[in-house]
Chain A
């Protein structure tokens, strides 16, 4: 046959060009054909945080994943991709996977996070900081659950859990019927992002009545933080603070437009970036204002700095101070006014002062006011949280609730942290009243405690709600908000409507000794390919060989069949 074939090829080369072309073009195409990415399932995954802060690495250090999936129940996890559902997630399982040197961890989050049971949400929130506390070598991804992914999970679960006590035949059958999944991410290895600029914004309302007026600074950081940057929406921390700051700016800009209500205080509003990374934006802003420029509102006569952090929920307000204010100072009068307003107008609201010294030995500052405290500016933070360590401030569970009924306080509230607009608006009112009483010095003028400067209609609930909605419409992790992003430009526009001299400030990490380094590849597409084990190929080869053997015998003995047919047909033809 092969001699014939070579003859044929010779003839083809000699005689006709088109025939050669027809034969060889497909051959060339076949040899160069690339492997297509035709996946069983394709889904978006969000990588865990990866950053360096003050030279210390945090989070996962890897992005590339190309391994077979297992659930944590499987006996051997090494170099496998361990997939877990949030409902079954625990730190022990996570640690088990890492100890057995798993290739990767993929955690499947439910689509509607706020509908999860309270204890699971709480537990996961507690775990988030633990997962980030040390560096993890293998990639850790989060994926949103859908039907396909759930089916992949259940199939992996059945193949992972039930292989210990089966007979050999059952195992063979199992390999033929069960599916394995090869998980592959499309992106490249994560690398440090150079020259990432964190943006902060400032704006001011100038007071009247001579030179050297005292300045009140209102500060809130806008960035959010969670175990995965693309999933951190930060509704309560610190969407609520930013929306309160914008509302205060709106209220006081109204008062400052009329001559009769124009007060003798400068108001400086600052929306800081990088707040979850040790308040990098605030730090640079202070350095710029205090060290480099000659004249700045911050340099002379700052009455106090009020930082707003996590104010959208709860029935208590805590004024966190690093040094209790002395009597006679403006801070002291604000403290007293806050106490008076909350006790006389909102008896259900518990107001208290929490004192915590600045711990310079700590890696992370507790509250934003400590940045100002270090520079000897009188400052404090207002929050409904009693402690800076609470997990609410850095959780991906901190989302705007999904169902509209729970959003407006009707029906079941979501399990995790969220913003209750009614409480946010009440807190805003308390702060606005107290600030106004300080600015206009109303207590000394003998105004009663239940005097309402702003009517209920003036603090607009819809406005607050809209701002929180807009802020939580996209993840605002510091790694994702660059200087041209819509978050920054919309914030700038908002501030510009009410305030004067709106300016942007950028922070870039130092090239040689960077204080913070962010990494890319935080959002990727993952493919799950259906695969079979190598033993399956062997089994298949044996089956095919057997089949071909039968075919060979059948064709060899085709004469038998034909003679049978002839014998049947013969008598009929004789009858013809």
Chain B
């Protein structure tokens, strides 16, 4: 399409990040540099993951349409490194829990936005061919912002040494859900043969549910430990 279309997609993808950054009060904490650090950690973790995947997971050469269940599951397991990375970012920042979570999640999600969506948008949405997938990609980046905030919150709760015993199980389940969300989505798509818009909707609903659950837990925890 045109540069205008690229502008549309870019605004859709980027502005929620900007609004979140402004409204969450991170800008008042001078948190920009810390977000950039979180982003750098994201890059480092992705690099490690890629090296690991390339070394230990040879490319699956099964027939077309055959879903390699175990292989995909193992690959999704490598995403546990994301949790480590988020923990690393949060452990290096001192401050209130909310602040730590927001900094880590914002930096992480923005790094992902820049690294994995800017280039396809620039190349694809500016091309002659129109495709809804660039709008969908922009929506997807909004969803992943919420996803990373929830994930960072869960990681923060999990790593608290004063976490009550009764919280241990739900937090672990949420953690597992966060890591294997992508894998679950792929499985859904494969089993139910979903269209691209339905996938987006399912993803939004799933992410919304996970983040609501973690919000509940977070609020419970903050009242319980008071």
Contacts and interface: CB of A to CB of B under 8 A. Distances in A.
Interface of A: 1, 4-5, 7-8, 11, 19, 22, 26, 29-30, 33, 35-36, 38-40, 179, 182, 184, 529-532, 534, 537, 540-541, 544, 547-548, 551-552, 555-556, 558, 561-562, 565-566, 568-570, 572-573, 576
A544 B12 contact: yes
Contacts of B124: 38
A33 B122 contact: yes
A576 B128 contact: no
Interface in B113-148: 114-115, 118-119, 122-124, 126-131, 135, 142
B50 interface: no
Given A1-B32, A537-B4, A562-B219, 15 more contacts: A4-B32, A35-B126, A36-B127, A182-B128, A529-B129, A530-B130, A534-B2, A537-B2, A541-B4, A544-B12, A551-B19, A555-B20, A556-B23, A562-B215, A565-B216
A551 B129 contact: no
B30 interface: yes
B175 to A, nearest CB: 20
A551 B16 contact: yes
Interface string B31-71: 01100100010010000000000000000000000000000
Nearest to A3: B32
Given A38-B129, A182-B128, A544 B19 contact: no
B142 to A, nearest CB: 8
Contacts of A5: 32
B1 A532 contact: yes
A1 B128 CA distance: 35
Interface of A: prevailing SS: helix
A22 B43 contact: yes
A540 B5 contact: yes
12 contacts: A30-B119, A33-B122, A35-B126, A184-B128, A529-B127, A552-B19, A555-B16, A555-B20, A556-B23, A558-B23, A570-B223, A573-B224
A532 B33 contact: no
Contact of B33 (A4, A19, A561, A569): A4
Interface string B183-225: 0000000000000000000000000000000011001100110
Contacts of A530: 129-131
Nearest to B122: A30
B8 interface: yes
A547 B123 CA distance: 24
A565 B215 contact: yes
B163 interface: no
Contacts of B5: 537, 540
B15 interface: yes
Interface of B: 1-2, 4-5, 7-8, 11-12, 15-16, 19-21, 23-24, 27, 30, 32-33, 36, 40, 43, 114-115, 118-119, 122-124, 126-131, 135, 142, 215-216, 219-220, 223-224
A548 B30 contact: no
Nearest to B16: A551
B106 to A, nearest CB: 12
A404 B43 CA distance: 64
Nearest to B218: A565
B93 to A, nearest CB: 16
A18 to B, nearest CB: 10
Contacts of A570: 223
Given A541-B4, A544-B11, A555 B19 contact: yes
Contact of A26 (B24, B33, B119, B223): B119
A547 B220 contact: no
A555 B23 contact: yes
A540 B11 CA distance: 11
A4 B27 CA distance: 10
A544 B33 contact: no
By Cβ-Cβ distance, the 8 closest A-B pairs, closest first, are A4-B32, A529-B128, A529-B129, A555-B23, A573-B223, A532-B130, A569-B220, A565-B219
A549 B207 CA distance: 21
A345 B123 CA distance: 74
B110 to A, nearest CB: 13
Contacts of A22: 43
Given A531-B1, A573-B220, A7 B122 contact: no
Contact of B11 (A548, A569, A572): A548
A8 B33 contact: yes
Contacts of A566: 219, 223
Contacts of B129: 38-40, 529-531
Contacts of A30: 118-119, 122
A572 B126 CA distance: 53
A537 B128 contact: no
A568 to B, nearest CB: 8
A548 B215 contact: no
Contacts of B2: 534, 537
Contacts of A569: 216, 219-220, 223
Given A4-B33, A531-B128, A544-B12, A33 B119 contact: yes
